[in-house]
Structures are given as C-alpha cells and as structure tokens.
Amino acid sequence: MGDGTQTYMFSFGPLSGLQKIAAGQPGTDFPAEFNTVFGLTSATDRLQPGDPATTDDASGTFTYNGAVGLVGDAESSVPNPSGVKATATAVVAGGIIDDVTINNPGSGYNGPATVLFAPPTCTPGPACETALGTVMISGGHVTVIDITFAGEGYTVAPAVTISAPATACSVSTLPGCLTGHVDPRQIMDIGVMNGTSPRL
C-alpha cells in the first residue's frame, strides 16, 4: 500500500469454460460439457497450472471446457460386467474357519472386493459368531482371502461369497463414478493462477 504496509492480494479465476473465455466468448457450459473429465489416459493426466495459457504458450492447443478438478471418486467403484466372479471354499477345524481355498480367482477385479462367510448353524451368542475376512487382488484376480476373524461354532463349512468384479473410479468416467468428487490441487493450480491472468 502507499504507506508501506505489506498487503497480500488473493484472486481466483473461473473453473469451467476456460477455452471459451480465453477466446473472448461466454464461458457458460451445458451439463454434458461441464461434467467431462480432462484426460483419462492415466491418473497423472492433469491440467497444467495456469492453463489455458500454459498449454497455449507451449505451442499447444487448449480445448477443454469441462469442470476443472472433476475426477472419478476414488472411494467408489462400478460393476465390471465383462469380469468373472471368483469362488472359494472354507475349511473348518475345531469350530472355526481354518483356511479358505480359492476355487476360481475370477477376472476383471480392478477395484475393491469383499468376502462374506455364512453364519454358523448354532444359536447366535458368544460361542457362535460369523467369521470375517478381506480380499487381496493382483492382476485383476482374487489371489488371497485373509481371515480376520475365524468365527466360532462352525460344524460344517459355510458358504463363501466374494463380491462381483468392479472397477475403481479414480480415473474413469463410467456411470456412477462422477459423484461430485474433485481434486483440490487442480482447482487451486488453475483457479489461483488464472485469477491474475490477463487472458481470463
């Protein structure tokens, strides 16, 4: 300021319709254009800080008008209809689940999976509890079922149900992946940089 006081200015630029605005047009998007995800080649395919100027100045052509920062929700997954569901069999010893044998590792497991054990046939109580487990995946296949609680009261092997193959939503725009989840880094990289850009 004029009296020597140090002042910090903060500005924030637009976060959609950037190519239109840079070309001097209104930046209004229809929903189908707004709800698109930039890139999708890989999880690291992101807008550059200062886009659209950064890309244009590097002799490139910036054409993206969708919402900055919109990404598939990494906490969500969608069914993979081309996958094959895995199957497994439990082994009971001494009233507990001692081991789980994978009969068919399935295919198309590109996201989280769960396992459920049927309850024992005894009366529910302290000595009659359902087992719990987790699923480990590698290369799209179920490779291990880890028993986290062996249960109690099992006299026969329970049914083992593994969830259907699913695909994680971290990059995908499959239906169900766009839940409003955003990448805050992209928003800050673009919004703050463009707040001071003479082009926007």
How many structural domains are present in the chain?
Answer: 2
Q: For residue 198, what pLDDT is reported? A: 60
Q: For residue 106, what pLDDT is reported? A: 97
Please tell me whether residues 66 and 37 are part of one structural domain: yes
Share the mean pLDDT of the chain. 86
The Cα 104–Cα 156 span in angstroms is 21
Please tell me whether residues 68 and 12 are part of one structural domain: yes
HSE, side-chain direction, 13 A CA sphere, residue 16: 14
Does 82 fall in a domain? no
Residue with tokens 């302290």: 126
Please tell me whether residues 92 and 22 are part of one structural domain: no
Please tell me whether residues 54 and 123 are part of one structural domain: no
Please tell me whether residues 156 and 178 are part of one structural domain: no
Q: pLDDT per residue over 45-74, tens digit each?
A: 678 888 888 888 777 788 889 899 888 887
Please tell me whether residues 146 and 181 are part of one structural domain: no
Confidence of residue 78 (pLDDT cuts 50, 70, 90): confident
CA 115 to chain CA centroid, nearest Å: 20
Per cent of the chain over pLDDT 90 is: 43
- Residue-range definition of the domain harbouring residue 24: 1-76+170-200
The Cα 175–Cα 63 span in angstroms is 23
The Cα 106–Cα 142 span in angstroms is 6
- pLDDT (average), residues 150-171: 92
Do residues 172 and 78 touch, judged by C-beta distance below 8 A?
yes
Please tell me whether residues 141 and 91 are part of one structural domain: yes
- pLDDT (average), residues 40-45: 54
Does 81 fall in a domain? no
Please tell me whether residues 95 and 160 are part of one structural domain: yes
The Cα 12–Cα 118 span in angstroms is 54
Does 10 fall in a domain? yes
Please tell me whether residues 63 and 19 are part of one structural domain: yes
Do residues 191 and 12 touch, judged by C-beta distance below 8 A?
yes
pLDDT at 200 over 60: no
In the chain, how long is the greatest CA-to-CA distance? Answer: 85
SS3 letters for the chain? Answer: CCCCCCCCCCCCCCCCCHHHHHCCCCCCCCHHHHCCCCCCCCCCCCCCCCCCHHHHHCCCCCCCCCCCCECCCCCCEEECCCCECCEEEEEEECCEEEEEEEEECCECCECCCEEEECCCCCCCECCEECCEEEEEEECCEEEEEEEEECCECCCCCCCEEECCCEEECCCCCCCCCCCCCECHHHHHHHHHHHHCCCCC
Q: For residue 62, what pLDDT is reported? A: 83
The Cα 107–Cα 182 span in angstroms is 30
Q: For residue 113, what pLDDT is reported? A: 94
The Cα 73–Cα 39 span in angstroms is 15
